[in-house]
């Protein structure tokens, strides 16, 4: 599969993740009487990854996340030379999804962008968590997300079930992390909404690049050390 096709798959896959996950937060979470709340948003993010994993996993691996790409590269599952193309495609997909979501969301009277599902800490944390809390949460949750990805996609794992495990893991970490930071674990997902939310979100964006990449890189070292080498391709 050519790198251009893989990058295109990552663009559309990341578009779906941001449009579905952040869209559920912006359009459906707070609707009076029928709003889906944090629980619904958590499942929405998990479902985007689960569905796209089956749709494009065989094309690009369905990373949808610069931190995932870095973690897989550290773990020896992804070629470092393909990383720039993946990251660019993922970020552009996230920005495009945010733009479409903005066009939809702004179509109601008295629209205000507000946080627009952006990630934040301090006064911009859903529950007022500090920068240190946000940093620790994002590193830890990304670590376990990558740990599950590496384990579920190991050749020794049950075949065909990786998308389910990964989607449910993303749901779980959203249930844990939304109150802290609105949950990122994904620099691309954070970048798109930050461009709409305003300068505060852009100023805090560094944490939502740094922490997920650090957590993913650590998992890329730890999982192979525990699991050992995968069997060679037959």
Q: What is the CATH number of the domain that holds 81?
A: 1.20.1080.10
**In terms of residue numbers, what domain contains 175?**
3-107+116-226
Instruction: Report yes or no on 171 lying in a domain.
Output: yes
Instruction: Report yes or no on 29 lying in a domain.
Output: yes
> Is the Cβ–Cβ distance between 146 and 226 less than 8 Å?
no
Instruction: Report yes or no on 231 lying in a domain.
Output: no
pLDDT > 90 in the chain, percent: 86
Lowest mean pLDDT among 20-34, 98-112, 119-133, 145-159: 20-34
Q: How many domains does the chain have?
A: 1
Condensed to tens digits (0 to 9), the pLDDT of residues 131-169 reads: 999 999 999 999 999 999 999 999 999 888 999 999 999
Query: What is the predicted pLDDT for the residue at 120?
Result: 96
Instruction: Report yes or no on 233 lying in a domain.
Output: no
Q: Which residue has the tokens 């993303």?
A: 170
Instruction: Report yes or no on 232 lying in a domain.
Output: no
pLDDT at 234 over 60: no
Instruction: Report yes or no on 234 lying in a domain.
Output: no
pLDDT at 233 over 60: no
């Amino acid at each position: 599969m050519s790198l251009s096709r893989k990058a295109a798959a990552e663009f559309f896959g990341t578009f779906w993740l941001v449009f579905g996950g952040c869209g559920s937060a912006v359009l459906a979470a707070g609707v009076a009487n029928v709003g889906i709340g944090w629980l619904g948003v958590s499942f929405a993010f998990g479902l985007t990854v689960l569905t796209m994993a089956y749709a494009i996993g065989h094309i690009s691996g369905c990373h949808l996340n610069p931190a995932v790409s870095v973690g897989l590269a550290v773990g020896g599952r992804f070629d470092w030379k393909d990383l720039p193309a993946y990251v660019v495609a993922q970020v552009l997909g996230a920005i495009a999804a945010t733009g479409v979501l903005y066009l939809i969301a702004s179509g109601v009277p008295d629209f205000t962008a507000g946080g627009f599902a952006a990630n934040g800490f301090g006064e911009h944390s859903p529950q007022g968590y500090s920068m240190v809390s946000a940093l620790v949460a994002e590193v830890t949750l990304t670590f376990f997300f990558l740990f599950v990805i590496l384990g579920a996609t190991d050749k020794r794992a049950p075949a065909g079930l990786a998308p389910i495990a990964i989607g449910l893991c993303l749901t779980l970490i959203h249930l844990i992390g939304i109150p802290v930071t609105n949950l990122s674990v994904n620099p691309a997902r954070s970048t798109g909404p930050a461009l709409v939310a305003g300068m505060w979100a852009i100023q805090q964006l560094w944490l939502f690049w740094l922490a997920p990449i650090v957590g993913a890189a650590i998992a890329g070292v730890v999982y192979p050390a525990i699991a050992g080498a995968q069997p060679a391709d037959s």
